[in-house]
A and B are shown apart, each in its own frame.
Chain A
Amino acid sequence: MTSMDTVRQVHPAAKMYAREFKQGQMSRREFLARTTALGMTASAAYVLGGLGQPAQAAGHAQRGGTIRLQSEVRAHKDTRTYDWTQMAYVTHGTLEYLIEYNNDGSFRPMLLEGWEVNDDATEFTLKVRQGVTWNNGDAFTAEDVARNITRWTDSTVEGNSMAARMASLADDETGQAADGAITVVDEHTVVLKTKRPDITLIPGMADYPAPVVHSSYDPNADLSELVGTGPMQVVQNEVGVKAVLEKSGHPWWGDEALEGGGWFIDRLEIIDYGQDPAAWIAAAESEEVDVFYETVGDFIDIMDAIGWQKSDVATGSTIVIRPNQLAEDENGNKIYGDKRVRQALAMAVDNAVCLELGYADRGLVADNCHVGPVHPEYDDSVTRLPHDPAKALQLMEEAGMADFEHELQSIDDDWRKNTTDAVAAQLRDAGINVRRTILPGSTFWNDWTKYAFSSTNWNHRPLGTQVLALAYKSGVAWNEFGFANDEFDTLLAEANSIADVDARREVMGKLQAILIDEGVTIQPYWRSLYRHSAPNIQGADAHIAYLPQAYKWSLSA
């Protein structure tokens, strides 16, 4: 890559990881995720780990042309309140990111040149990339970075989801960045001091609601006037219909700073074909689009059949079919308060069957603990309760729930419905009474955390502790399990303060064991994501977290 990583010291933990990796104690993905999160560039990590760098076709990419992407086009809103990745697709050619998260689990500096983390993950030194300018001519400096991070930290803005990611920089009372948390040291250096060890800060900055905006940014202004560091401008953004990004003439810093450069295409059209995949297929067959946002379900085979290229990536996206421990029946008794009932539900279900029937075997079987092989701190020695329908029925009888009819609810869609059906069928096979209720998408989310027994899909997150903190910690807003366990909370807080991944894995193993033993949820599989693109398109690969990276796309000659 460039010279930016030559003078930097290698973090001592990174050297240790390299040793462990070479001894075979750590997977390639884990190694990359951990070392790059410590501030190492991906290429340095490859060198340190003695890995061959992945071949990049980008160097030979042809410049020019238009690519048409099938994707929903949603109304723009304040970037930090983005709640759909599709919104970021429209702006990502203009508003760029500090850090990029990649499919191999690594973090690559973009508008930063790099960063350093101290040993207990409480102090982050961000090096701002030099020579980058905004498309109005202003220079991009440390002030811009500090201002954006301050903006993200502000939790008083309604719907600002970045605030949760930056919470360790915030003052709990004012909801704003704490005094001294964000310091501009010089024109190209920003130092962040967190109030507690925070391993998720860097991954948080790579997420889709974190585009870097100019000081003049106004969420209500016309998108064509957007000031950003990227080479594209939004020339059209018609909600539900079409958005168009075009080269604005502003040179891209990445052509010099990144190997192989980027933004090969002159124009990206994002065309909305609604929510029905059949319409996407019709568009592909009519040669009206070149790239899909995502290919789902049976349509993957159809797209293979018509000769498009398939790209897939295993992720941490998943589904949970969970009882809510606080749910009550008509007599006010807690239906799932008894651990045996929950364990019985989990034991009656073979996760591989759910994967096969619910998601056509497109993924990996999981172990009911919502942490998996894509997460660096996953402990693979902890496994699920054995699949044993007879034991399940016995437990159910012991708990006095043999005659109870469980109501299992799901949203009305393809894979979520099918997976939930597969669970219901297996419960019935085990002798447990189940009634299925399917709710339309428009009403399902109104009460999604409160259903007694229902399924919910969860997106991928880079670190294992992240979902646990969002959904399993006692009393958090998205705790749909009604799960409250002091030991779990204490261990989770401990895990979150360990920068060293191996040490964290020991704690994670205990966390996984608690979730499994308490029968908190059935979490049958990890989904793979798929994206198809026309045969003449290069580089439009599926992304593990759906992040927009059209700068890698090009048309082949």
Chain B
Amino acid sequence: MSGILVVGDGPAAHRLAERLRGHGHTGPLTVLGAEPAHHRPLLTDVVAGRLPAEAVRLPPLPDTRVSTGTVVTGIDRARHEVRARQGGTETVHSYDTLVLATGARPVVPDIVGATGGDGHLAAGVTTLRTASDCARITGETVVVLGGGPLGVETASALAARGTDTTLICAHPHPLHERLGETCAALLTETLEQAGVTMLGGRTVVRRTPDRVLLDDGTNLRADTLVLCTGAAPDVRLARAAGLRVRTGIVVDDRLRTSDPHIHALGDCAELNGRAPGGVDTAWAQADALAAILTGHATVHRPTPTVFRLRTRFADVSCVGDPADFDRPGARTVTLTDQANRRHARLALRDEHLVAAVLFGVPEAIAALGIAHRYGRPVPSDLLGLLLGPPARPAPVGSETDEDALVCLCNNVRRPALVKAWQSGARTVTALAGATRATTGCGGCGPLVARLCDDWEHEARPAPERAR
């Protein structure tokens, strides 16, 4: 059986290794990474103080040689070997199939004083990509730079732990392009109410000890400056090895690079001209590549992913592309409810959802996310779905059927949860441990909690309609 070597320490590498064994790969399996793999979406929970850093570490992989503290320095494609350095020692690892899951590297903007002479970040300045970065955020007053999801999530997490937090973004509101004007403005309002000082249309130009200077001359105290200014695919190894690279490492629909023995996936890979990044994409690719490498599938067909903002202050979710709203032939439905801070914008073609931006409508997020992902028609009473039970009786959709998919990220269906419940997993945490539901984007958390409650109240020992 041929040996598979995986380079990377993120969720993509971890999920791939796990699924390879699940699909019956019996040959040697080695993972080389700098840090122990951890669940990156939960880093902001560490920042918020809700989880200790060790808690976001991914579980150990069975039957896999995992070599942490290992920095891969080069690929010798002719000899099918990877060179690495572990501690002070040079090591060589041979492969039959090599998988690059090198992820992305934070983009550090040009801010005077943010980096030292050696190019490393100065004291009190950090990006947020690894578990060790969390510990670099210290002090009473933190300035977060960046209007993307990570900036918002980090600022929310800091505000939640009581830190004096300022979020600075170039657009008037964070996530401006993705959410659109109305929704992004709602997000700003919500974050302000959560205690975050919002400074839109600004940027940081200079870092001095304990302070930052903005482009409009404002000078703010900042014990730590957190740079959430995006990430770029880490293509260094691939480029040095002569593989085809554009924005990311170019792969085909079998997730193969320009060298048929080398695959790439996750944040470092570029498929169909796009390197979208994100854990959902990485997981889907890992699942697909495991199936391809074990002969259970031949190609990877990406399914649409749901974007969900991880902040406890607002339910924000998007599917599709913002440009889909302006394509001819689309029907749009837009709901704005300032009083209850709700917003929804949908683009539909016939009965199918093309794109959506949803704020403060968690029920709709779940139902529409599933409809979009599986190309199902949306419920005919869209208004009822968007307004939810307080305003109108909610329609009972087909989504609540017995076989319903509950956790999109981990592909957990309702029967799996029922089985886990019957086996004694009687809390959300226990169900999460048994099935992995809720451990992805967290979007199904409320649903799992509700199922848990329902079953608790139903006749014991267990819900019998589940088989």
Q: Do they bind each other?
A: no
